[in-house]
Amino acid sequence: MLFTGFIHLSGLSAGPMVRPGRSRPLAGPTTVPLFRRELVICSLSSGSSGNCTYIGDGHRGVLVDAGISPRQVEIRMEDQGLKNAPINAVLITHEHQDHVGGAAVLARQLAKKRKPVPFWMTRGTWEGCKPACRPDGAEFIEAGDAFFCADIGLDAIPVPHDTVDPIAWRVRLGGACAAVITDLGRPTKLIARSMQDCDALVLEFNHDEQMLLDGPYPLHLKQRIRGNHGHLSNSQAAEILADGAGPKLQHVLLAHLSEENNRPEIARELATSVLARGGWPATVHLTRQRAAVPAVRMDVNPFG
Ligand SMILES: [Zn+2]
Ligand SMILES: [Zn+2]
């Protein structure tokens, strides 16, 4: 069920009784949820070879990043029960190939098979994109902007990463809020604050620091990844999660895990222990590079 609405019922079995002669019920009206709304988050691919996440509520939806082929977007959405899920916009975080590699083709495919949609990004990201990756329908925003597109609230949050003008995205729809926060070199207060009212997070847990140091990457690449404009280590991600997790948080998807320099169980254990220490009962999920992971579905209050 993907509808919205609550209704106040009196005199029905679920509601308060009204005695004859009384004009008001004995107790206040009972609110009975007649309709539910569901927020769906589905990581279609996550990692240095391609990123794409679907967020929707059955009425509206977005893709965050387009780093895999449109064919894979289609197949993986269908596999996760999202065949006809609406796509009202595509949100681009930055111009690295693993985030925009499929953008131009995806824009053409959406225009042909569904309808043209805006691809929101900073002007810096557009300028940093290889011309072949630039999608038709690009719309420009500035890092820090908060706006609506098709009744979906969108916040572009600046992040430190080694591209021209990178952002993370916060998506507000169906009374819920989800954020996709990957590709940043260090935790920032702004990011932690932006997480605090989120129901769900897709958060980078890129590498284990010791595995990266001991691993096969050349020194310059190790330095880039560890740098302030590289990627979040597990412990940096744990720090930002401890700082930013809030009482609404229901799900955390660990994202952009390095296949060379991380192990999913290390990241999962760290995230789980941080949430337990903070008293947040959120569920931790892993994402994958070569496959979608089962869509996370949560009930939300459409008026929340
Ligand atoms: Zn990336
Ligand atoms: Zn990147």
pLDDT in tens, 157-190: 999 999 999 999 999 998 899 999 999 999 999 9
Å from CA of 160 to ligand 1 middle: 13
Give dist(CA 147, CA 257) in Å, integer.
30
Å from CA of 47 to ligand 2 middle: 10
Of the bound ligands, which one is closest to the alpha carbon of residue 229? 2
Give dist(CA 93, CA 181) in Å, integer.
9
- The SS3 of residue 30 is strand
Cα distances (Å, whole numbers) of residue 207 to 127, 222, 229, 230, 259: 29, 11, 14, 11, 9
Å from CA of 23 to ligand 2 middle: 64
Å from CA of 53 to ligand 1 middle: 13
Of the bound ligands, which one is closest to the alpha carbon of residue 95? 2
List domains and CATH numbers for the chain. Answer: 7-20+29-300 (3.60.15.10)
Å from CA of 161 to ligand 2 middle: 7
Of the bound ligands, which one is closest to the alpha carbon of residue 230? 2
Å from CA of 146 to ligand 2 middle: 22
Q: What average pLDDT does the chain have?
A: 89
Q: Specify the pLDDT at position 68.
A: 98
Q: Specify the pLDDT at position 11.
A: 31
Å from CA of 184 to ligand 2 middle: 8
Å from CA of 99 to ligand 1 middle: 6
Å from CA of 161 to ligand 1 middle: 10
Å from CA of 171 to ligand 2 middle: 20
Residues around the ion ligand 1 (C-beta < 5 A) = 98, 183
Å from CA of 101 to ligand 2 middle: 12
What is the dihedral angle through the alpha carbons of 182, 132, 134, 71, rounded to the nearest 10 degrees?
-70
Å from CA of 126 to ligand 2 middle: 14
**Helix or strand run (H / E) with residue 99:** helix 97-100
Q: Specify the pLDDT at position 174.
A: 81
Residue 181 and residue 171 in contact, taking contact as beta carbons nearer than 8 Å: no
DSSP classification of residue 126:
H
Amino acid at 209: E
Å from CA of 166 to ligand 1 middle: 11
Å from CA of 297 to ligand 1 middle: 25
Q: Per residue of the chain (304 residues), what is the pLDDT tens digit?
A: 333 333 333 333 333 333 333 334 444 444 444 556 789 999 999 999 999 999 999 999 999 999 999 999 999 999 999 999 999 999 999 999 999 999 999 999 999 999 999 999 999 999 999 999 999 999 999 999 999 999 999 999 999 999 999 999 999 998 899 999 999 999 999 999 999 999 999 999 999 999 999 999 999 999 999 999 999 999 999 999 999 999 999 999 999 999 999 999 999 999 999 999 999 999 999 999 999 999 999 987 666 5
Q: Specify the pLDDT at position 35.
A: 59
Residue 88 and residue 62 in contact, taking contact as beta carbons nearer than 8 Å: yes
